[in-house]
Amino acid sequence: MRITYFVHTTTTDNEAGLATGWIQGKLSDNGLEQARLLNGTLQNHTFDAVFTSDLQRAVKSTELFFDNRFPVFIDWRLRECNYGVFDGKPVADFKKGHEAEFISAPYEGGESYRDVEQRIKSLLNSLSLFPFNHIAVVAHQAPQLALDVLLGGKSWEQAISEDWRNTKNWQPGWEYQLPEKF
């Protein structure tokens, strides 16, 4: 199964430099415009289904990206990492350059990146039961890094250091391949 991964568009928290984590978050005016532009790019794309995080910023991005052209499945396993006590706090205070500390150890009151990996692994196992050829996924940073680990063969350290967000090298979708036997 081919997976095209999309990250929700810019939120008011992104613009304020805050880590949203499991907080719902709201798309900013810039994020709404980004979603409309991506919708135009996606008009000629076909997916068997779209899977999205249950957090509002991903759900709203999904609606704007795809105009209900495909079946949508909302799944909590696609949530961003739970940053615990750091949800809603400035990213600069705890995250930049320190992500590797939380690969196995959870954020205080939250979860680790390996916890996110287990959620995504569970989702991929579920997806392997569907007869889909090509799906879209709309979610967040940590689930995408988990896909880089699970399907891209990267270590967590490598996924974090090579994350496109470090260079602001956004693109309209990242491609992954779910093997038949996952």
Give dist(CA 162, CA 141) in Å, integer.
12
Angle at which helices 56-66 and 29-41 cross, to 10°: 40
Nearest to 141 by CA among 32, 2, 38, 11: 11
Residue 180 a catalytic site member: no
Residues in the chain: 182
Model pTM score: 0.95
- The pLDDT of residue 166 is 85
Residue 45 a catalytic site member: no
Query: Among residues 33, 80, 134, 180, which one is catalytic?
Result: 80
**Do the beta carbons of residue 155 and residue 140 sit within 8 Å?**
no
- Which class for 120: exposed (0-12), middle (13-18), buried (19 or more C-beta within 10 A)? buried
Residues with pLDDT less than 70, the chain: none
The token pair at 179 is: 């093997």
What domains are there in the chain, each with its CATH number? 2-177 (3.40.50.1240)
* pLDDT tens sequence across 111-159: 999 999 999 999 999 998 999 999 999 999 999 999 999 999 999 999 9
- The pLDDT of residue 182 is 77
Q: Give the CA angle between residues 124, 170, 92 to the nearest 5°.
A: 90
In sequence order, the 6+-apart residues with CB closer than 8 A to the CB of 109 are 84, 85
- The pLDDT of residue 116 is 98
Burial 51-82 (b: 16+ CB within 10 A, else e): bbbebebbbbbbbbbbeeebebeebebbbbbb
- The pLDDT of residue 120 is 98
The phi-psi region of residue 21 (left if phi > 0; otherwise alpha if psi is between -120 and 50; otherwise beta) is left
